[in-house]
Amino acid sequence: MQRVAEHVRALGRGVVWTGVAALAWLAAAVQFAAFVPGFGLGLVLLLPPVLLLARRVPRLARRLAGAGAAQPVPDSYRPRPAPPVPGPDGRYERERILYRSPWVPRAIGHLDWVLGDPATWRDLGWMLLAPVSALLAGLPAALVAGGGWLAVTGGQPWAVPAGLVALAAGPALAPALLRLHDRWNRRLLGPPRAPARSGWRHWLGVRVVALFRLLALAGLTLLGIPVALLVLLATVLSFGVGLVPLFQPVVRGLRVLTNLRRRLAGRWSDRPVAEPYRPRPELPPLRPDGLYPVGRHLYRSPRAARYAAGDSWVRRDPATWRDITFGIADPFVGVVLLAPLVAVGYGIRGLVLPWLVSLFTGNGGNDWYGALAGSSAAALPVGVALTVLGLAAAPAALRWHGRWTALLLGPTRRAELDLRVRRLTETRADATREQATELRRIERDLHDGTQARLIALGLTLNQIDRLLDQDPAAARALLAEARAASTRALGELRDLVRGIHPPVLAERGLGDAVRSLALEAPLPVEVTVSLPQRLEEAVESAVYFAVQELLGNVLKHAQAQRVRISLAQDGAVLRVRVADDGRGGADPGRGSGLHGLRRRLGTFDATVTVDSPAGGPTIVELEVPCASSSPRISTC
């Protein structure tokens, strides 16, 4: 009886999972329906509530999968960003724009948080694959229902035996298929795993992941069709009919979609694509007559002036028209580049469809390429060949799709020069600001600490000089006090010098300096150094203080048990990796120390990558050019 109850429960859970799969498809449809006005009409701030509401379905699936395996399935969503903090003037800054209310900065932060979270797109991929889930979980119940129908109707001589076989096969297969289904869902809905680096599993895993990524790109390509039509309509209405206010919000919504394609090209195809847009213009200065000049027009309202400046900025930026060209051409070129998807889909169709047709109709499965040989069995080798061919070609197609994206959405030569000048300006301002801050710190430490002790030491020596003949015992006591004061002053000077440039860094190099930091840490720190030569002093100093700050963040916030630090020189680039096994949740977008670290290292044209899902681990990677004058930002 216990075994029968287990099979019945498996059948019931399969029916429940079929309903969850239907909910997943409904949630995916709602999200795609929200993408069209979000990206096409510029209503991107409406996307976060829809995407967050859709997360309830994967959360329900995680609870069901965890209950079935008696093992919870954790999620990997990034933590919600902190609310915006007003500045000294009471306004809220976001992307160099000041707002009176925190609503818009908070909404933009939530948009970046949701769209930039890889778990969002993993959830969407799981929703799109819901038919696979429904097939695995609902097949036993379908066999029972179909077998009962065949046994009752009995239209053919074989119907009753086939129905009885299906009635028996459904409950018998239910537990095994449900275990396979739960394993499938735990793999898709759980945190991403580190892939293996060798063997046939690695080969197959790389190509299956590439195929899923192509599927996501295909969805974005399909989404781009109505968005491109909306952009074309807004362009015609703006420049042909005169409905100018329509153009700017539509184009800015399109930019959200194209920026997503740029990020995916860099993350999935190893083709980093920088944003080529010109910087947003500031509000023009107010004239003596109280009007704001924008081009040849004058405006009384600052809001109207800002909108007019933004409209001119959007229309005159060449990247706008490249985005529109990409939106029009991508459905045609993208279909060619996504050919492995068609091959795999056609191959699976050839493998599954003849069997299903033969099972439910009895008419055989002579469909498309199987009909060439007059038998459904001929579809099997062709289907396998197409599936394997599509899987093998998926990584190459993904790389070519990244090249196509970089070709149209990447910056032109002139835009690259503009970006370089802009970056040089920002890094020069950051370096000047950092230098001024450091000089003020040194001045404050000298004035409040060492200088005060030296003045007190001078007064003590004067008092000793007066008491030397009158009261030698008191003079000796003051002399001991002066000696202690001089020792403390010398210690403060040494600490100050060590804060400017540690002696161990100057004498023994970056590797030994980082090892000294590890020895002083109150938890185990493993340091791996592979530096064939000394680097420039400025680079060594910047990396040393960056590692010191990262290690301090681990000690303060991570609640870690172990830290691993590696330094390796790869050609002309120094790669630094700081990993801990703490609780995770570090977010550079919150305005924390990681953001300041990224700005400071930007002076050296360095890049900072943070991977810190909730629950850990946290991995921070620094890539610093070994020379302080990087070819990417210098004129050499």
pLDDT at residue 366, rounded to an integer: 45
Say how far apart CA 388 and CA 440 lie, in whole Å: 65
Q: How many CB atoms lie within 10 A of CB 207?
A: 20
Give the model confidence (pLDDT) of 277-321 as tens digits.
877 777 777 777 778 787 777 777 777 777 777 777 788 888 888
Three-state secondary-structure class, residue 151:
helix
Residue 373 DSSP class: T
Query: What pLDDT shows up at residue 566?
Result: 87
Alpha-carbon span 61 to 212, nearest angstrom: 20
Q: What is the CATH number of domain 508-625?
A: 3.30.565.10
Q: What angle do CA 259, 265, 266 make, to 5 degrees?
A: 95
**In the predicted structure, residue 154 carries a pLDDT above the cut 50:** yes
Question: From CA 313, how far away is CA 252, in angstroms rounded?
Answer: 11
In tens, the pLDDT along 260-289 reads 888 888 888 888 888 888 777 777 777 777
Query: Is pLDDT at 226 greater than 60 in this prediction?
Result: yes
> Which whole number is the average pLDDT over 6-27?
82
Min mean pLDDT across 137-151, 333-347, 373-387, 577-591 is at 373-387
Q: What pLDDT score was predicted for residue 379?
A: 63
Max Cα-Cα span within the chain:
131
- The type of residue at 364 is G
Q: Is the peptide bond before 617 cis (omega within 30 degrees of 0)?
A: yes
Give residues with Cβ within 8 angstroms of 373, minimum separation 6.
none
- How far are the Cα atoms of 63, 125, 135 from residue 23, in angstroms, in the given order? 15, 14, 15
Q: What is the mean pLDDT of the chain?
A: 75
Its pTM surpasses 0.75: no
Q: Which two tokens stand for residue 632?
A: 């990417």
Mean pLDDT along residues 48-62: 87
Angle between helices 503-520 and 537-553 (to 10 degrees): 20
pLDDT at residue 449 is higher than 70: no
For the record, the structure tokens of 550 come out as 């990262």
- Is the per-residue pLDDT at 124 higher than 70? yes
Cα separation of 18 and 38, whole Å?
A: 30
Question: Does residue 191 contact residue 76 with C-beta atoms inside 8 Å?
Answer: yes
**What band does 501 get if pLDDT is binned at 50, 70 and 90?**
low
* Nearest partner of 95 among 246, 255, 247, 234, judged by Cα: 255
**Residue 1 scores a pLDDT above 60:** yes
Mean per-residue pLDDT, 30-41: 76
Residue 56 pLDDT > 50: yes
More confident residue, 326 or 242: 326
Would you state the pLDDT for residue 242? 66
CA–CA dist 46, 12 (Å, integer): 37
Contact (CB, 8 A) for 531 and 613? no
DSSP-derived letter for residue 532 is S
* pLDDT(30) > 70: yes
Cα(84)–Cα(94) distance, integer angstroms = 9
Q: What is the pLDDT of residue 351?
A: 66
Q: pLDDT confidence of 628, banded at 50, 70, 90?
A: very low
Torsion of CA 508, 514, 518, 519, to 10 degrees: 10
